[in-house]
């Protein structure tokens, strides 16, 4: 494990050195000719959603429910004629309780993402690029079961903060327009981290039993779309694929992560959104209703009304 961490740290260092040297050499040359300033453009948002359903003598049937969710985002952009550096962070957490006192409150949303990418223009639409992407969650996730008294109880832990975490570094070429960006990286590395001892011992998320990291190298493809379909309707889509060199050559298998968000702006503070999230990881086995575990497509969709502010 220590060798993996040291090797990955060295891999990072090369990429960050490349980013640092290119960006600041550009900044120095800009200062010399006094033609262009290099400000950081910063933005962010906080959104909260809440739903509560209470039923009394409701002839049509149904269940009481309560749901709460929140999203915090931040972005910083530094751009010149030749260079563009974008850093973003997102924290999203949500939970719900459907039913009476015998049912527990469960999380329905939970992810923590930090990514940064530097692009150096080759032509108007093509650029060299290097980036880092970290994905994990903030709260533990559990299995649930009904006890002999009919009350719901928490079972074994399935995940928690940095169990897992996926850290990806890449070097490649980026195609970019005002609304679309795609990066092809023949040189990418992904470090899977499972810090929880029991999950590590079980070999969860593809690590070897007892190990806490899994280091993989291979090609990756990422694509981002951000377009205003109408005046108050925005569509965002983030797509990424990664494959280990040996798996890609032998079987052509890819790990896939695809997120979409359709947002309808009602007014300055209120929005309605519809989000989907599709995941397929070859190393991750999903527990089935019959007690077995197998590779499977994970899919989630969320429809919500949000109150938020931008800054």
Residue 251 in any domain: the answer is: yes
User: HEC states along 36-48?
Assistant: CCCCEEEEEEEEE
Q: What is the pLDDT of residues 112-153, one digit of tens each?
A: 999 999 999 999 999 999 999 999 999 999 999 999 888 999
- HSE toward the beta carbon, residue 99, CA cutoff 13 A: 9
Query: Which residues lie across from 171 on neighbouring strands?
Result: 130, 187
| Predicted local distance difference test score (pLDDT) of residue 279 | 93
Residue 170 in any domain: the answer is: yes
| Predicted local distance difference test score (pLDDT) of residue 37 | 56
DSSP tag of 163: B
Residue 255 in any domain: the answer is: yes
Among 282, 286, 273, 208, which residue's Cα sits nearest to residue 73?
273
| Predicted local distance difference test score (pLDDT) of residue 6 | 44
Q: Are 113 and 133 contacting, i.e. CB atoms less than 8 angstroms apart?
A: yes
Q: How many domains does the chain have?
A: 1
Task: Give burial (CB, 10 Å; 0-12/13-18/19+) of 267.
Answer: exposed
| Predicted local distance difference test score (pLDDT) of residue 30 | 47
pTM for the complete prediction? Answer: 0.82
Q: Are 188 and 168 contacting, i.e. CB atoms less than 8 angstroms apart?
A: yes
Residue 148 in any domain: the answer is: no
Residue 110 in any domain: the answer is: no
Q: Which residues of the chain have pLDDT under 70?
A: 1-38, 249-250
Count of beta carbons in the 10 Å neighbourhood of residue 181: 21
Domain that holds residue 12: 2-31+124-140+154-310
| Predicted local distance difference test score (pLDDT) of residue 170 | 93
| Predicted local distance difference test score (pLDDT) of residue 38 | 57
CA atoms of 87 and 78, how far apart (whole Å) = 9
| Predicted local distance difference test score (pLDDT) of residue 34 | 42
| Predicted local distance difference test score (pLDDT) of residue 303 | 84
| Predicted local distance difference test score (pLDDT) of residue 256 | 95
Residue 250 in any domain: the answer is: yes
Residue 203 in any domain: the answer is: yes
302: domain CATH number?
A: 2.40.160
Q: Are 120 and 129 contacting, i.e. CB atoms less than 8 angstroms apart?
A: yes
Residue 14 in any domain: the answer is: yes
């Amino acid at each position: 494990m220590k060798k993996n961490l040291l090797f990955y740290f060295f891999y990072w260092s090369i990429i960050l050195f490349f980013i640092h040297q290119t960006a600041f050499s550009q900044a120095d040359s800009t200062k010399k000719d006094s033609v262009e300033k290099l400000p950081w453009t910063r933005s962010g948002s906080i959104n909260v959603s809440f739903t509560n359903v209470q039923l009394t003598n409701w002839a049509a049937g149904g269940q009481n429910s309560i749901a709460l969710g929140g999203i915090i985002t931040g972005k910083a952009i530094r751009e010149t004629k030749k260079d563009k550096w974008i850093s973003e962070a997102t924290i999203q957490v949500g939970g719900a309780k459907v039913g009476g006192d015998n049912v527990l409150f469960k999380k329905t949303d939970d992810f923590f993402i930090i990514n940064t990418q530097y692009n150096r223009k080759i032509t108007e639409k093509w650029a060299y690029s290097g980036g880092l992407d970290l994905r994990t969650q903030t709260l533990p996730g559990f299995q649930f079961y009904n006890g002999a008294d009919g009350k719901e109880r928490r079972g074994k832990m399935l995940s928690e903060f940095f169990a897992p975490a996926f850290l990806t570094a890449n070097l490649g070429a980026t195609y970019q327009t005002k609304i679309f960006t795609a990066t092809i990286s023949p040189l990418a590395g992904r470090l899977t981290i499972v810090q929880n001892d029991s999950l590590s011992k079980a070999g969860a998320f593809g690590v070897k039993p007892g190990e806490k990291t899994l280091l993989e190298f291979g090609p990756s493809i990422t694509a981002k779309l951000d377009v205003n379909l109408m005046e108050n309707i925005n569509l965002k889509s983030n797509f990424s694929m990664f494959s280990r060199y040996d798996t890609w050559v032998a079987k052509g298998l890819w790990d896939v992560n695809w997120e979409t968000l359709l947002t309808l702006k009602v007014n300055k503070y209120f929005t309605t959104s519809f989000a989907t999230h599709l995941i397929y990881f070859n190393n991750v086995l999903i527990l089935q209703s019959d007690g077995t575990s197998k590779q499977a497509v994970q899919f989630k969709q969320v429809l919500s009304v949000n109150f938020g502010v931008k800054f």
